[in-house]
Amino acid sequence: MSGRLGLIGDPVVHSISPEIQQPALDALGIDAKYELWHTTSIDLENRISTLRLPGVMGANVTVPHKQAVIPFLDSLSETAERAGAVNTIVPMEGKLHGDNTDVYGLARSLKERGIQGSGLQAVVLGAGGAARASLLALEQLGAAGVTVVNRTARRAEELIGQFPQLDVRAMTVSDLIADTALSAASVLINATSIGWSKDEMPIQSSVLDLLSGACLVFDLTYRDTALLIEARKRNLQTLDGLPMLVLQGARALELWTGLEAPVDLMMERGMEARAARS
């Protein structure tokens, strides 16, 4: 019997994860199929229970279920606990273990661009789950200081209160413009959902003028967003979310199989899949 893996979310039809994971499974000689498992909130508990069946090797989890799956699991990794979110489920001897490989993918994406070390200053846009993952990744990379920017300062303050060991502060966009955080930033991370729709911007384009020429503008959305286009107009370095998507998927594959993931192949297939959908 061949194995089964899948992505749990609502919706999932847009995902390119199968185009990334299936070639990797095939290259590793693993007889398994990676599927899209559209799952509503009502059906979530039942879906998770099916991961205990013979032949099921694991699952990825995407919005809106990354937090909702937690009560149905038997254990969590430390990263998943701190993130308050699970994006990878690994069956282990009849038990279901939840992990979060988004933090790994995000941290490695930045590290491969030289964004790490004691001099690292970051600005994170947003205060939701992606922003929390960003703070965890920046913490791992040894960030010296982080500024979390949100439309409402209250939510940003609630988030930073969970990172007492990190030098992090909260502010609104209007406060940021008058602050020195932008000019000192090594990286600006868009951890909001603003960017999927064409021409949407999480900040006014003029804010980018305050960044130094060495700053990396990183949008976690895996497409060429308006933010990235505007950043390149200003000769700023840019990075979209595709490397993060591939790297978190590669780490998930390693957790499921115990084998080293073929990252280069996964990246190649991811780029092809994204191009085919653009």
| Catalytically annotated residues | 66
Distances (CA, A) of 221 to 4, 159, 200, 228: 27, 21, 12, 10
**Residue 216 three-state SS:** strand
Distances (CA, A) of 175 to 90, 148, 158, 164, 191: 43, 11, 17, 22, 18
Phi, psi dihedrals of residue 99, rounded to the nearest 5°: -135, 170
29: left (phi over 0), alpha (psi -120 to 50) or beta: left
User: Which residues have a Cβ under 8 Å from the Cβ of 236 and sit 6 or more positions away?
Assistant: 208, 211, 213, 215, 216, 217
d(CA 164, CA 169): 10
Question: Which is it for strands 95-99 and 121-125: parallel, antiparallel or unpaired?
Answer: unpaired
